[in-house]
Amino acid sequence: MGRLFGTDGVRGVANADLTAELALGLSVAAAHVLAEAGTFEGHRPVAVVGRDPRASGEFLEAAVVAGLASAGVDVLRVGVLPTPAVAYLTGSLGADLGVMLSASHNPMPDNGIKFFARGGHKLADELEDRIERTYRSHSSGEPWDRPTGAGVGRVKDYDQGFDNYVAHLVGVLPNRLDGLKVVIDGAHGAASRVSPEAFARAGAEVVTIGADPDGLNINDDCGSTHLSGLCAAVVEHGADLGVAHDGDADRCLAVDREGNEIDGDQILAVLALGMREAGTLRKDTVVATVMSNLGFKLAMEREGLTFVQTAVGDRYVLEEMKAGGFALGGEQSGHVIALDHATTGDGTLTGLMLAARVAATGRPLGELAGVMKRLPQVLVNVPDVDKTRVGTSPEVTSAVAEAERELGATGRVLLRPSGTEPLVRVMVEAADIEQAGAVAGRLADVVKSALG
């Protein structure tokens, strides 16, 4: 049986992989593990529970709340809010645990459970492992020690969560957005109300699309994974910029006033220069993953900033930021972490900070994003190969070295085994798309013949 917890909680098809029984059992197990770890010592434990608008979130929320309360944890139910809102409220309310029900950018039938520790930080891997072991031991028949009478948890709706979170977002902005017209695509997800409200309170004129969730339309041809609608809307409304979220709003991608897409690397570049100017970019360093475009690295070096690379995944970016004491990091996909204001990627905060930079400089977003030039990037997936040998094959190593010599300083090669499939990803960046495609094709052929 595989590990339940992935890099971002437990995910699967709701009511098939992720059942009410699993949600309830994991919640009880989390309560017991945290109690044993001393998290609840000396007080009555409290948990914050939120969800995105998926239809399945309704019954899964009920299961999580029932599990926590049956284990003696008082529950503050905050309803439909972004993942970073649940993290923020867990910290600001002094709760012992946060639980978010969402599958982020995944299609509607999926759902997931993500736990936050006290302070709104991601639960440590070791605690996730203990929760999983505890759940498995009890699901096979070992009885739970259950409180009775006044010992059971109480459940309350915490309706102030929306206003508290929006006030926090607006309060951390360096300047207002008066005079800006912004189109927001909420992906029919968790930010459908939050993001437009925050931008409006900050002074922007707001146009919304993808902001009518019905439980079934989340991420459906909208949001950060489908930017064409936002591109068209920005041009149609003559807006200064557009902001797109994913289902749980921990991501943000953008569109400039000409309708051009602005990815996570470009957003990081714009924010990094703004934060350096304000003196808030600690150690003049930005953290991003090995999948960041080479153009980002070259731009940061040209601007005199340090670029620290990590493995793919926002969890690795966050770990490096905490270890190094850095303030800004993120991924090309739009996960941007501003650690002075959030404990996780926050798409609404990212969009607000980006808009604030446009307002403060009076320069168009496209011009600001021009600080970096995205080099053409070609990604080829090579299936049905022994991905474990990608780093040890002499043929592959020799082919990569030859490709790197050909590309020189204006290109890059990255071979990466897939974390979930029997394939190797070959990524090549070069000064022009034809060269990138040719080099990637040659490398893919070598990988296939050497590892097939």
**341-375 confidence digits (pLDDT tens):** 999 999 999 999 999 999 999 999 999 999 999 99
**140 lies in a domain?**
yes
**DSSP state, 428?**
E
* 3-state DSSP assignment of residue 120: coil
**3 lies in a domain?**
no
Most confident of the following: 130-144, 159-173, 368-382: 159-173
Q: Mean pLDDT throughout 445-450?
A: 92
Statement to judge: residues 193 and 77 lie in one domain: no
Beta bridge partners of 11: 112
Q: Mean pLDDT throughout 241-264?
A: 97
**1 lies in a domain?**
no
Query: With contact defined as beta carbons under 8 Å apart, do 189 and 101 qualify?
Result: no
- Planar angle of CA 155, 52, 121, nearest 5 degrees: 75
**What pLDDT, on the 0 to 100 scale, is given for residue 321?**
97
Composition of the chain by helix, strand, coil, percent to 5: 40, 20, 35
Statement to judge: residues 294 and 439 lie in one domain: no
**What pLDDT, on the 0 to 100 scale, is given for residue 73?**
98
Q: How many CB atoms lie within 10 A of CB 148?
A: 7
Per-residue pLDDT at 169 exceeds 90: yes
Statement to judge: residues 181 and 91 lie in one domain: no
Statement to judge: residues 179 and 300 lie in one domain: yes
Per-residue pLDDT at 167 exceeds 90: yes
**101 lies in a domain?**
yes
Per-residue pLDDT at 207 exceeds 90: yes
**What pLDDT, on the 0 to 100 scale, is given for residue 389?**
87
Statement to judge: residues 201 and 301 lie in one domain: yes
Residue 99 token pair: 């639980």
Q: What distance separates the 2 farthest-apart alpha carbons in the chain?
A: 73
Residue 86 token pair: 């649940």
State the total domains in the chain: 3
Q: Report how far residue 373's alpha carbon sits from residue 25's, in angstroms, rounded to the nearest whole number.
A: 49
Q: Report how far residue 133's alpha carbon sits from residue 52's, in angstroms, rounded to the nearest whole number.
A: 27
- CB proximity list for 65: less than 8 A, separation 6 or greater: 27, 49, 75, 77, 155
* 3-state DSSP assignment of residue 424: strand
Residue 158 dihedral angles phi and psi, to the nearest 5°: -105, 85
The response to whether 104 counts as a known ligand-binding position is yes
283-308 CB burial, b ≥16 within 10 A, e <16: eebbbbbebbbbbbbbbbeebebebb
**212 lies in a domain?**
yes
Statement to judge: residues 394 and 359 lie in one domain: no
Helices (H) and strands (E) in the chain, counts: 14, 18
Q: Mean pLDDT throughout 251-260?
A: 97
- Residue that is last in its domain, among 117, 135, 159: 159
Residue 56 token pair: 């399945």
**What pLDDT, on the 0 to 100 scale, is given for residue 2?**
66
Chain segment 319-344, per-residue pLDDT in tens:
999 999 999 999 999 999 999 999 99
Q: Mean pLDDT throughout 86-96?
A: 98
**358 lies in a domain?**
yes
Q: The CATH number of the domain where 423 resides is what? A: 3.30.310.50
**What pLDDT, on the 0 to 100 scale, is given for residue 140?**
77
The response to whether 256 counts as a known ligand-binding position is no
> Catalytic residue positions?
104
Per-residue pLDDT at 303 exceeds 90: yes
Taking alpha carbons only, the member of 452, 395, 444, 376 closest to residue 416 is: 444
**5 lies in a domain?**
no
Q: Report how far residue 396's alpha carbon sits from residue 399's, in angstroms, rounded to the nearest whole number.
A: 5
**What pLDDT, on the 0 to 100 scale, is given for residue 420?**
64
Burial of 119 (0-12, 13-18, 19+ CB in 10 A): middle
The response to whether 314 counts as a known ligand-binding position is no
Q: Which residue has the higher pLDDT, 41 or 111?
A: 111
- Residue that is last in its domain, among 144, 159, 174: 159
Per-residue pLDDT at 192 exceeds 70: yes
Beta bridge partners of 185: 209, 244
Beta bridge partners of 376: none
Statement to judge: residues 222 and 134 lie in one domain: no
Query: With contact defined as beta carbons under 8 Å apart, do 150 and 138 qualify?
Result: no
83-92, 246-255, 386-395, 433-442: least confident range: 386-395
- Give me the domain span that covers residue 49: 10-159
Split at pLDDT 50, 70, 90, the class of 188 is: very high
Q: Report how far residue 92's alpha carbon sits from residue 284's, in angstroms, rounded to the nearest whole number.
A: 28
Chain segment 278-288, per-residue pLDDT in tens:
999 999 999 99
The response to whether 125 counts as a known ligand-binding position is no
Query: With contact defined as beta carbons under 8 Å apart, do 23 and 60 qualify?
Result: yes
Q: Report how far residue 251's alpha carbon sits from residue 276's, in angstroms, rounded to the nearest whole number.
A: 22
**What pLDDT, on the 0 to 100 scale, is given for residue 8?**
77
Statement to judge: residues 257 and 147 lie in one domain: no
Statement to judge: residues 178 and 152 lie in one domain: no
Statement to judge: residues 134 and 232 lie in one domain: no
Query: With contact defined as beta carbons under 8 Å apart, do 264 and 332 qualify?
Result: yes
**4 lies in a domain?**
no
- Residue that is last in its domain, among 311, 335, 369: 369
Q: Mean pLDDT throughout 375-398?
A: 90
Q: Report how far residue 157's alpha carbon sits from residue 281's, in angstroms, rounded to the nearest whole number.
A: 38
Statement to judge: residues 334 and 429 lie in one domain: no
254-265 CB burial, b ≥16 within 10 A, e <16: bbbbebbbbbbb
Per-residue pLDDT at 1 exceeds 80: no
Q: The CATH number of the domain where 204 resides is what? A: 3.40.120.10
Q: Mean pLDDT throughout 130-148?
A: 89
Burial of 313 (0-12, 13-18, 19+ CB in 10 A): middle
Residue 315 dihedral angles phi and psi, to the nearest 5°: -65, -35
Residue 279 dihedral angles phi and psi, to the nearest 5°: 80, 20
- Planar angle of CA 58, 60, 66, nearest 5 degrees: 105
Q: Report how far residue 253's alpha carbon sits from residue 244's, in angstroms, rounded to the nearest whole number.
A: 5
Mean pLDDT of the chain: 94
Statement to judge: residues 362 and 385 lie in one domain: no
Whether pTM > 0.75 for this model: the answer is yes
